[in-house]
Protein backbone atom coordinates (compact mmCIF):
# COMPACT_ATOMS: atom_id res chain seq x y z
CA UNK A 1 0.00 0.00 0.00
CA UNK A 2 1.35 3.42 -0.99
CA UNK A 3 1.60 6.35 1.36
CA UNK A 4 -0.88 8.31 -0.77
CA UNK A 5 -3.58 5.69 -0.16
CA UNK A 6 -3.30 5.89 3.66
CA UNK A 7 -5.82 7.92 5.64
CA UNK A 8 -4.66 11.10 7.39
CA UNK A 9 -4.71 9.49 10.86
CA UNK A 10 -2.34 6.73 9.74
CA UNK A 11 -0.03 9.23 8.07
CA UNK A 12 0.10 11.34 11.25
CA UNK A 13 0.93 8.24 13.28
CA UNK A 14 3.62 7.29 10.78
CA UNK A 15 5.19 10.75 11.09
CA UNK A 16 5.08 10.53 14.91
CA UNK A 17 6.55 7.03 14.78
CA UNK A 18 9.48 8.30 12.70
CA UNK A 19 9.88 11.19 15.16
CA UNK A 20 9.93 8.86 18.20
CA UNK A 21 12.38 6.48 16.51
CA UNK A 22 14.63 9.46 15.78
CA UNK A 23 14.45 10.58 19.44
CA UNK A 24 15.26 7.05 20.62
CA UNK A 25 18.21 6.86 18.22
CA UNK A 26 19.56 10.24 19.35
CA UNK A 27 19.09 9.27 23.01
CA UNK A 28 20.83 5.97 22.33
CA UNK A 29 23.77 7.65 20.62
CA UNK A 30 24.19 10.10 23.51
CA UNK A 31 23.60 7.77 26.47
CA UNK A 32 24.65 4.33 25.20
CA UNK A 33 28.42 4.96 25.45
CA UNK A 34 28.03 6.22 29.05
CA UNK A 35 25.80 3.33 30.10
CA UNK A 36 27.91 0.70 28.38
CA UNK A 37 31.17 2.03 29.77
CA UNK A 38 30.07 2.50 33.36
CA UNK A 39 27.76 -0.51 33.59
CA UNK A 40 30.96 -2.57 33.37
CA UNK A 41 32.16 -0.78 36.51
CA UNK A 42 29.52 -1.34 39.22
CA UNK A 43 31.55 0.64 41.77
CA UNK A 44 31.23 3.74 39.60
CA UNK A 45 27.46 3.22 39.37
CA UNK A 46 27.33 2.74 43.15
CA UNK A 47 29.13 6.05 43.75
CA UNK A 48 27.11 7.78 41.04
CA UNK A 49 23.75 6.74 42.53
CA UNK A 50 24.92 7.57 46.05
CA UNK A 51 25.35 11.16 44.87
CA UNK A 52 21.59 11.41 44.39
CA UNK A 53 20.84 10.45 48.00
CA UNK A 54 17.26 9.25 48.47
CA UNK A 55 16.56 9.77 44.78
CA UNK A 56 19.15 7.17 43.80
CA UNK A 57 16.42 4.51 43.63
CA UNK A 58 14.52 6.52 41.04
CA UNK A 59 17.67 7.27 39.06
CA UNK A 60 18.53 3.56 38.88
CA UNK A 61 14.99 2.69 37.73
CA UNK A 62 15.32 5.38 35.05
CA UNK A 63 18.65 3.89 33.91
CA UNK A 64 17.00 0.46 33.63
CA UNK A 65 14.08 1.94 31.68
CA UNK A 66 16.44 3.74 29.28
CA UNK A 67 18.39 0.50 28.79
CA UNK A 68 15.22 -1.31 27.74
CA UNK A 69 14.10 1.47 25.39
CA UNK A 70 17.40 1.93 23.53
CA UNK A 71 17.89 -1.86 23.37
CA UNK A 72 21.58 -1.94 22.48
CA UNK A 73 22.87 -1.95 26.07
CA UNK A 74 22.99 -5.47 27.60
CA UNK A 75 20.40 -5.49 30.39
CA UNK A 76 22.40 -8.13 32.28
CA UNK A 77 25.10 -5.55 33.09
CA UNK A 78 22.54 -3.14 34.51
CA UNK A 79 21.00 -5.90 36.65
CA UNK A 80 24.43 -6.88 37.98
CA UNK A 81 24.90 -3.24 38.99
CA UNK A 82 21.58 -3.37 40.89
CA UNK A 83 22.83 -6.28 42.97
CA UNK A 84 26.21 -4.66 43.49
CA UNK A 85 24.68 -1.38 44.65
CA UNK A 86 21.53 -2.42 46.51
CA UNK A 87 21.90 -6.12 47.33
CA UNK A 88 19.57 -8.96 46.41
CA UNK A 89 16.09 -8.03 47.72
CA UNK A 90 16.07 -4.31 46.89
CA UNK A 91 18.23 -4.67 43.77
CA UNK A 92 15.84 -7.25 42.37
CA UNK A 93 12.77 -5.09 43.06
CA UNK A 94 14.27 -1.94 41.52
CA UNK A 95 15.63 -3.78 38.49
CA UNK A 96 12.35 -5.62 37.92
CA UNK A 97 10.31 -2.42 38.20
CA UNK A 98 12.56 -0.66 35.69
CA UNK A 99 12.53 -3.66 33.38
CA UNK A 100 8.75 -3.95 33.32
CA UNK A 101 8.18 -0.19 33.02
CA UNK A 102 10.58 0.01 30.09
CA UNK A 103 8.99 -3.02 28.43
CA UNK A 104 5.49 -1.56 28.78
CA UNK A 105 6.62 1.79 27.34
CA UNK A 106 8.26 0.03 24.39
CA UNK A 107 5.23 -2.21 23.78
CA UNK A 108 2.67 0.60 23.84
CA UNK A 109 4.79 2.89 21.67
CA UNK A 110 4.95 0.09 19.12
CA UNK A 111 1.26 -0.82 19.58
CA UNK A 112 -0.03 2.76 19.31
CA UNK A 113 2.01 3.80 16.32
CA UNK A 114 2.96 0.57 14.60
CA UNK A 115 0.01 -1.83 14.71
CA UNK A 116 -2.36 0.34 12.70
CA UNK A 117 0.31 0.95 10.06
CA UNK A 118 1.22 -2.75 9.81
CA UNK A 119 -2.47 -3.69 9.58
CA UNK A 120 -2.67 -1.64 6.37
CA UNK A 121 -0.21 -4.00 4.73
CA UNK A 122 -1.33 -7.38 6.11
CA UNK A 123 -4.63 -9.01 5.21
CA UNK A 124 -7.26 -9.12 7.97
CA UNK A 125 -7.49 -12.92 7.71
CA UNK A 126 -3.75 -13.30 8.36
CA UNK A 127 -3.93 -10.97 11.37
CA UNK A 128 -6.83 -12.95 12.84
CA UNK A 129 -4.94 -16.22 12.30
CA UNK A 130 -1.83 -14.79 13.96
CA UNK A 131 -3.96 -13.49 16.82
CA UNK A 132 -5.41 -16.97 17.37
CA UNK A 133 -1.92 -18.48 17.58
CA UNK A 134 -0.42 -15.80 19.82
CA UNK A 135 -3.34 -15.79 22.25
CA UNK A 136 -3.70 -19.58 22.49
CA UNK A 137 -2.26 -21.85 25.16
CA UNK A 138 0.29 -23.08 22.62
CA UNK A 139 1.33 -19.53 21.88
CA UNK A 140 1.63 -18.72 25.58
CA UNK A 141 3.87 -21.72 26.27
CA UNK A 142 6.03 -20.93 23.27
CA UNK A 143 6.30 -17.29 24.30
CA UNK A 144 7.29 -18.25 27.85
CA UNK A 145 10.07 -20.53 26.61
CA UNK A 146 11.39 -17.87 24.22
CA UNK A 147 11.37 -15.25 26.98
CA UNK A 148 13.32 -17.57 29.28
CA UNK A 149 16.11 -18.20 26.79
CA UNK A 150 19.14 -16.02 27.60
CA UNK A 151 20.91 -13.83 25.04
CA UNK A 152 17.74 -13.41 22.96
CA UNK A 153 17.13 -9.62 22.64
CA UNK A 154 13.89 -9.59 24.65
CA UNK A 155 13.76 -5.79 24.76
CA UNK A 156 13.70 -5.72 20.96
CA UNK A 157 11.08 -8.48 21.06
CA UNK A 158 8.72 -6.09 22.89
CA UNK A 159 8.91 -3.69 19.96
CA UNK A 160 7.94 -6.54 17.65
CA UNK A 161 5.18 -7.76 19.99
CA UNK A 162 3.56 -4.33 19.88
CA UNK A 163 2.78 -4.62 16.17
CA UNK A 164 1.19 -8.06 16.60
CA UNK A 165 -2.36 -8.75 17.83
CA UNK A 166 -1.17 -10.43 21.04
CA UNK A 167 -3.20 -9.44 24.10
CA UNK A 168 -1.23 -7.05 26.29
CA UNK A 169 -2.43 -8.65 29.54
CA UNK A 170 -1.34 -12.12 28.41
CA UNK A 171 1.98 -10.87 27.10
CA UNK A 172 2.93 -8.97 30.25
CA UNK A 173 1.90 -11.85 32.51
CA UNK A 174 4.05 -14.35 30.61
CA UNK A 175 6.87 -11.87 30.06
CA UNK A 176 6.87 -10.76 33.68
CA UNK A 177 7.01 -14.30 35.05
CA UNK A 178 9.70 -15.36 32.60
CA UNK A 179 12.00 -12.47 33.56
CA UNK A 180 12.00 -13.26 37.30
CA UNK A 181 14.61 -16.10 37.31
CA UNK A 182 17.21 -14.33 35.14
CA UNK A 183 16.75 -11.02 36.94
CA UNK A 184 17.24 -12.69 40.32
CA UNK A 185 20.33 -14.52 39.08
CA UNK A 186 22.06 -11.44 37.61
CA UNK A 187 21.24 -9.35 40.66
CA UNK A 188 22.64 -12.14 42.84
CA UNK A 189 25.84 -12.14 40.78
CA UNK A 190 26.26 -8.43 41.48
CA UNK A 191 25.48 -8.77 45.18
CA UNK A 192 27.90 -11.68 45.61
CA UNK A 193 30.61 -9.81 43.72
CA UNK A 194 30.23 -6.79 46.02
CA UNK A 195 30.41 -8.95 49.13
CA UNK A 196 33.25 -10.98 47.57
CA UNK A 197 31.29 -14.11 48.42
CA UNK A 198 32.87 -16.33 45.78
CA UNK A 199 31.17 -19.51 47.04
CA UNK A 200 27.69 -18.03 46.64
CA UNK A 201 28.74 -16.53 43.32
CA UNK A 202 29.80 -19.97 42.10
CA UNK A 203 26.51 -21.45 43.31
CA UNK A 204 24.56 -18.70 41.53
CA UNK A 205 26.39 -19.35 38.27
CA UNK A 206 25.81 -23.09 38.68
CA UNK A 207 22.08 -22.48 39.17
CA UNK A 208 22.05 -20.34 36.04
CA UNK A 209 23.70 -23.12 34.03
CA UNK A 210 21.19 -25.66 35.37
CA UNK A 211 18.30 -23.39 34.38
CA UNK A 212 19.81 -23.00 30.92
CA UNK A 213 19.91 -26.77 30.51
CA UNK A 214 16.32 -27.14 31.73
CA UNK A 215 15.07 -24.39 29.40
CA UNK A 216 16.98 -25.95 26.50
CA UNK A 217 15.35 -29.36 27.00
CA UNK A 218 11.92 -27.82 27.58
CA UNK A 219 12.23 -25.91 24.33
CA UNK A 220 13.50 -28.97 22.47
CA UNK A 221 10.69 -31.15 23.84
CA UNK A 222 8.09 -28.51 23.01
CA UNK A 223 9.40 -28.26 19.44
CA UNK A 224 9.22 -32.05 19.00
CA UNK A 225 5.65 -32.14 20.28
CA UNK A 226 4.61 -29.42 17.88
CA UNK A 227 6.20 -31.28 14.94
CA UNK A 228 4.49 -34.55 15.93
CA UNK A 229 1.08 -32.82 15.92
CA UNK A 230 1.49 -31.75 12.30
> What is the DSSP annotation of 172-209?
HHHHHHHHHHHHHHHHHHHHHHHHT-HHHHHHHHHHHH
pLDDT at 58: 92
With a cut of 50, list the residues of the chain below it in pLDDT. 1-4
Domain range enclosing 70: 3-229
What was the pLDDT predicted at 1? 46
pLDDT at residue 230 in the model: 52
- 7-32 pLDDT per residue, tens: 677 777 777 777 877 877 777 777 77
pLDDT of residue 70: 80
Q: What is the count of structural domains for the chain?
A: 1
pLDDT at 53: 85
Q: What pLDDT score does 99 carry?
A: 92
Task: Say what the pLDDT of residue 11 is.
Answer: 74
Tell me whether residue 199 is exposed, middle or buried, using C-beta atoms within 10 angstroms of its C-beta: 0 to 12, 13 to 18, 19 or more. Answer: exposed
Give the distance between the most distant pair of CA atoms in the chain.
64
CA-to-CA distance for 22 and 29, rounded, in angstroms? Answer: 11
Tell the burial category of 54 from Cβ atoms under 10 Å away from its Cβ (0-12, 13-18, 19+).
exposed
pLDDT at 212: 66
Q: What is the pTM of this model?
A: 0.75
Supply the pLDDT for residue 196.
73
Amino acid sequence: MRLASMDKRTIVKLVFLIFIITIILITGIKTAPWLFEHAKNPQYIRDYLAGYGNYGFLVYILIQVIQVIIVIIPGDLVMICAGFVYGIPLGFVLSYIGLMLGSMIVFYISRFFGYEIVSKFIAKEKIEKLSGILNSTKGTVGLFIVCCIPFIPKDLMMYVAGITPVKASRLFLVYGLSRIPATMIWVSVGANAFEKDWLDLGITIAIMLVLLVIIFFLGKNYHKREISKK
